[in-house]
Amino acid sequence: MSDTQIRQLRRKLATPDAVKTFRAIRAAAGSSRLKILFALRSSKDGLTITDISKLLSASLSRVSHQMRILKKAGLVSAEKDGRNVFYRGNNAAVAKLVGLPR
């Protein structure tokens, strides 16, 4: 590969869309986070941290940390309803991430 081709490829890897995609892949890479994304996709009304904690048999703080990572990557959204926060998967972002049509 020539130096020109390498520079062009390096520029493509540094575009905002590419960087956003790389961050999303990294966020989804953990097995717990993949399980959370699957559970959210299967849920119609969204899930709370408590629901997810029970599903994974994990502590609330651990699930909260995982949700923060997924939310920051744009893979989930959060909606507050009274005292509860319901999380929903961003199916379009997840589909784009794995190259599946919407």
Residue type, 69: I
Q: Which two tokens stand for residue 58?
A: 């994990």
d(CA 84, CA 74): 20
pLDDT at 78: 92
pLDDT at 30: 77
pTM, two decimals, is 0.73
pLDDT at 68: 93
pLDDT at 56: 93
- Which of 42, 53, 38 minimizes the C-alpha distance to 85? 53
pLDDT at 102: 41
* Domains of the chain, first to last: 3-98 (1.10.10.10)
The low-confidence residues of the chain, meaning pLDDT below 50, are 100-102
pLDDT at 26: 79
pLDDT at 98: 63
pLDDT at 100: 44
Q: Which two tokens stand for residue 65?
A: 């940390």
Q: Are 99 and 65 in contact (CB under 8 A)?
A: no
